[in-house]
Amino acid sequence: MVQNTAAEDFNPRELRNALGAFATGVTIITTRSRSGQLTGMTANSFTSVSLNPPLVLWSSSLYAQSLSAFQESSHFVVNILAHDQVELSNRFAKSHEDKFADVDHIIPECGAPVLIGSAAHFECRNEFRHYGGDHIIFIGHVERFAYTDKPTLLFCRGKYMRGEPMLLT
């Protein structure tokens, strides 16, 4: 059944349900604060912007506890999660004293953590920021990246899913 609503009658829950029909990849965005603290958050608002120059974007709520670290940092890393990293996604989606405790990661030249086991990652210079509603959009210039052939973790209709090719006949 198709739900239809007029703009002036938007129910926030219904809008969220409609937006949830679009499957997205699951990422953990990481950075290092000015004080050196490692910071990260789960985000599904990631997409490519341009191949030349290589730009990507993601967005964060203006109310996120770690927002200031991302606003002040010179770099961030987009870690695209593999299908077997649901627990990691949940860990970084919540407030936690030390999200990186017992999490395998490396610190590359850019200073922001790369999570071991991810399907791909993009090391980005924090290039531009744009405000939109209750979010801030970060645009990063990709300086380095790596990827694997692991199936990715997807999120759709409030559930995790495994991203693999469909067998077509």
Domain boundaries, the chain: 24-156
Return the CATH superfamily for domain 24-156. Answer: Electron Transport, Fmn-binding Protein; Chain A (2.30.110.10)
The per-residue DSSP string of the chain comes to ------GGG--HHHHHHHHTTS-EE-EEEEEE-TTS-EEEEEE---EEEEETTEEEEEEEETT-TTHHHHHH-SEEEEEEPBTT-HHHHHHHHS--TTTTTT--EE--TTSS-EETT-SEEEEEEEEEEEEETTEEEEEEEEEEEEE--PPEEEEETTEEEEE------
- What pLDDT shows up at residue 17? 86
- What pLDDT shows up at residue 130? 97
Q: pLDDT 10s digit of each residue in the chain, 169 long? A: 556 666 667 788 888 888 888 899 999 999 999 999 999 999 999 999 999 999 999 999 999 999 999 999 999 999 999 999 999 999 999 988 789 999 999 999 999 999 999 999 999 999 999 999 999 999 999 999 999 999 999 999 999 999 888 888 7
Q: What is the pTM of this model?
A: 0.91
